[in-house]
Chains A and B, each alone.
Chain A
Amino acid sequence: MVSRSLMIGVNAFGGGENMNGNGRKDLDRIFFPESVAIVGASNNKGKFGYMYTESFVNIGHTNIFPINPKEEEVMGFKAYPSITAVPEDIDLALLVIPPEFAPDVVKECVEKKVKGVILYTSGFRELGPEGRKKEDELVSMAKGTGTRLIGPNCMGIYNPAGKVSFSPTMSKETGPISMISHSGSMCNMLTTLAGARGMKFSKVVSCGNECDLNWADFLEYMAADPETGVVIGYLEGTRDGRRFLEVARETTLHKPVIVWKAGFTERGARAAGSHTGAMCGSSQIWEAVFKQSGLLQVKSADELVDLLMGFYYLPSLPKGRKVVIVSGPGGPAVTASDSCTEMGLTLAELSKETRAKLGQVIPAVGTSTDNPIDLGMGIRFNPHYYGEALKILETDDDVDLILVIGGGNPRINAYLAEARKQTTKPVLAAVTNMADVPKEDINFLIEAGIPPLPDARRAAAVFAKLCNYVDYLRKRGAHDQIESWRGCGLRGGTNR
């Protein structure tokens, strides 16, 4: 979106006001606007003014006011020369205009008592001290007036339930995931990746330079939002760390928050300067912040979406770190044991009873009822071994997590799905050669509630992070949260 630039140190100016009852109501009007004005709306298909209008049209908003002195109408909606010319109230205004026009338009928005102004426009703080001054001017104009600013240098908000969108191709379906991001392109990337695994969103916020409303403000909003079951985010830094930590600690008690924190390394921090001009902060202190806040840290898109699947599809949170590996192939079972141990899980000791029960199902030769459980080459002709193993392990109290090596094959999938309906323990499948497995077979596993991962290491990483979250909830005394959790993407799941 913007070119690379200098990293700029900042002061505390620009922090959002703390959320109070009024603040929340105002934000509701921004996420669920009854009327939307798009300043810079255009009939020219090459312009962002066209794309944003199309976004609102496609998501189903019907009360749109294009603002453009050069147009009579845009996409069938009567256009107006200015915000003040609009005869109705405007809840949300989107500014898709060059930065030099922003001050006048923001002034009009304040006069018109617009609830939220999304400044798509870049060319502010992220460019340097001159830009910062311009940004600060916008903030002073709006401060205390009831008009809140989002951005600049952002994509704004996606909320299908409120008919708000920042891209013409976003889904109209709603789900339990909400996202907050300092980067617009991250929003696209992660919603696409998650969408490809069947996961749906409630709200997505691209908050850019956060000159007014910031990451912590939106997290606070999501914390209290009954439609949000899990929060994910891309975070470059914060200007008010203590408030951020306070909001994070409060939020994580009620729902999981997965954060991809950027700017850990010095070069990363420099690159991040181009988005928010926020100081990324010492990586050691951020490590501490993650531990104290319960925010779950990931360092790649895959890690984020893998863990998200864990909260979306798994029926329960793990009560401990004892994992059982159930495998058809032998070699991968051994390396899976390594991965599990490396990630901080322990291999469960199966009880005599469990082993006896397993022994009644699988043949005595070429198998193992130890952990990892080796179902043997016979799974070729007896795919039901997988299902039986899962059902038996459900009854062993010393088993917290089950890692299946295999799956993908439709016959095995069917038995796994059937067993999954009767069990509650978290199960992940490490699908061998997953990239070559037909999409419908992968989707089958996802819909059955057994998230498939390409390898045991990634699966173990998910389990470990789920366990870390449980440990954190225990540390904070939130034991009910652990017991009552149901995958938020499941029917009757938490927060749906």
Chain B
Amino acid sequence: MTNQIVEAALKKGQRALSEYESKKLLAAYGVPITRESLVQNEDEAVTAAVEIGFPVVVKACSPDATHKTEMKLIELNLKGEGEVRDAYRKLKDRASGIVLEGMLVQEMVSGDRELVVGMMRDPQFGPCIMFGLGGIYTEALKDVSFRVAPIDEREAEEMAREIRGNAVLGPYRGKPPVDMKVLAKALIGVGQVGLDLPNVKEIDVNPLIVSVDGTPVAVDALVIISE
């Protein structure tokens, strides 16, 4: 199977999809993503922000911007038009060295539980799905579980509850439990991408922030592709 987004990116010689492209692809497979808009100028950014609703986040969007925090290509918690315009100009400046697809204006998801969902290819077993505690401590904690794709909802829930930090998935410190149905769809989805699209080498959705009502939302995504 092939996919328009992936094909187009490969033709352009990209080794990864931009955040925007990645999220579009993954959303089609059931991964919950932020409401967002790719804009090409300051005015569009403001329109988008108003439509989405404040506070918003603005990010430089580029297939080369794989470590946005380190590269200072994100501006968070923008609460009004003025802040959005400011942020847009700052980012335009900082992103002058890379090929820019545009600026991504997206809803700001607040929540302090962060999860990671991924897909990698095992040489023996093919596409495998990964789940774990996410955010900046992902590599340090290594609290992850795996499954070989494809999986069903039951298997998805089982793999999620397997992590050592599984208490985080339930009602936790006054916050509601994580919506398992939504999370399961995301896990099933990344596995299915791996099975359907041989050009997708790896998927990294980090973090999915668990919002106040328990719904996990992918606030960033990276899809690595190859011929």
Contact = CB atoms under 8 A, between A and B. Distances in A.
Interface stretch (A136-144, A225-233, A268-276, A282-290): A282-290
A145 B122 CA distance: 32
Contacts of A148: none
Nearest to A239: B124
B147 interface: yes
Contact of A285 (B128, B151, B154, B158): B128
B146 interface: yes
Given A284-B146, A285-B146, A241 B158 contact: no
A240 B148 CA distance: 13
A281 interface: yes
A279 B144 CA distance: 23
A279 B122 CA distance: 11
Contacts of A291: 147, 158
Nearest to A245: B148
Contacts of B124: 237-241, 244, 279, 281, 285
A239 B158 CA distance: 27
A279 B123 CA distance: 9
B126 A288 contact: no
B148 A289 contact: yes
A475 interface: yes
B145 interface: yes
A288 B123 contact: no
B155 interface: yes
B137 interface: no
Nearest to B127: A242
A284 B148 CA distance: 11
A288 B154 contact: no
Contacts, number: 46
Contacts of B158: 291
A292 B123 contact: no
B146 A245 contact: no
Interface string A328-350: 00000000000000000000000
Interface in B113-171: 122-126, 128, 144-148, 151, 154-155, 158-159
A244 to B, nearest CB: 8
Nearest to B162: A291
Contacts of A282: 122
Interface string A284-314: 1101110110000000000000000000000
Contacts of A285: 122, 124-125, 128, 146, 148
Interface in A234-278: 237-242, 244-245
Contacts of B123: 279, 281
Contacts of A292: 147-148, 151, 155
A284 B122 CA distance: 11
B155 A281 contact: no
A241 B125 contact: yes
Contact of B147 (A239, A241, A279, A288): A288
Contacts of A279: 123-124
Interface in B97-118: none
Contacts of A241: 122, 124-126, 148
A245 B128 CA distance: 13
B122 to A, nearest CB: 5
Query: Which one of B124, B128, B145, B159 has the greatest number of beta carbons of chain A within 10 Å?
Result: B124
Contacts of A239: 124
Query: Which one of A288, A292, A475 has the greatest number of beta carbons of chain B within 10 Å?
Result: A288
B194 to A, nearest CB: 12
A281 B148 CA distance: 13
A475 B156 CA distance: 12
A288 B122 CA distance: 12
21 contacts: A238-B124, A239-B124, A240-B124, A241-B122, A241-B124, A241-B125, A241-B126, A241-B148, A242-B126, A245-B125, A245-B148, A281-B122, A281-B125, A282-B122, A284-B144, A285-B124, A285-B146, A285-B148, A288-B148, A288-B159, A292-B148
Given A284-B144, A287-B146, 9 more contacts: A240-B124, A242-B126, A242-B148, A244-B124, A245-B125, A281-B124, A284-B146, A285-B148, A292-B155
What 3 A-B pairs are tightest by C-beta distance, nearest first? A241-B124, A241-B125, A288-B146
